[in-house]
Chains A and B, each alone.
Chain A
Amino acid sequence: MIYLELFISFLKIGLFGFGGGYAMLSLIRHEVVEVHEWISATEFTDIVAISQTTPGPIAINSATYIGYVATQNVWGSIIATVAVSLPSIIIMLIICRFFLKFRDNKYVGYVMSGLKPAAIGLIAAAAIMLVNTATFIDYKSISLFAAAFIAALRFKANPILLIVLAGVAGYMLY
């Protein structure tokens, strides 16, 4: 039953997606490209590109898109989007309720001391896994990558602007 699989997959992504949208990319990729093969690796890259230029968090945008592609149905979108947001809604409600108790709990701090660096690792993995022959076709791709990397790291360039410029460059170069 594809709707149930979709729901469970995105529930997992929502539940373990510590560290924000970029860290969730590794989880999303693992579930939808490798385990269930709902979309190809190239399609995944395109979804990330679209998600970065449209408003809203990557996890929500990709859930909506992948839900539709997997089922060819708007219900797929709705189920995946609800599933990916559900864990954080529930967890935040619990935290709001018991905030004072949790805030000073040393074990929460201990767990976070492991989760924070692991989230960085997940982001790095997401970037590395996107390096393939579909994303890097030739030296022009490598130049675009290097230019964007320096612009974003050194000059804190706006990601949307960089994607728009990359699109213009792609149209002219290829």
Chain B
Amino acid sequence: MDEPASTAIKNNEAIERIFKGIRPVVVALIAVPACNMLIKAGLKLKPLAIAITATLAICLLNVSPVIVMIAAGVIGVLSSMYSQNAKQQ
């Protein structure tokens, strides 16, 4: 009886079965907004390239998401300035 309530809940066999069902659904519930946002962004080259590069950097190269966000901000500024310049010329 002296184990904390959270441990008692976690070790419950019924709860474990429930969570086995929930876990894959959580993955789907995170994947869906990513898909929706990508569709909403219009599937253009620049946003698509940044999104995919960010995903790969985190998943494969284990880059900190903080670094990814800083780099994305810098790339946003540089690429926008470049396209502004191209337009003016």
Contact = CB atoms under 8 A, between A and B. Distances in A.
Contacts, number: 201
Interface of A is mostly: helix
A145 B38 contact: no
Nearest to A69: B6
Interface of B is mostly: helix
B38 to A, nearest CB: 6
Given A117-B48, A121-B58, A127-B27, A111 B73 contact: yes
Interface range on chain A (Cβ under 8 Å from partner): 35 or more
B87 interface: no
A74 interface: no
Given A48-B26, A114-B75, A136-B24, 20 more contacts: A16-B69, A30-B65, A30-B66, A45-B26, A46-B23, A113-B46, A114-B50, A114-B74, A117-B50, A118-B69, A119-B37, A120-B41, A121-B51, A123-B37, A128-B59, A129-B59, A149-B28, A168-B21, A170-B19, A170-B21
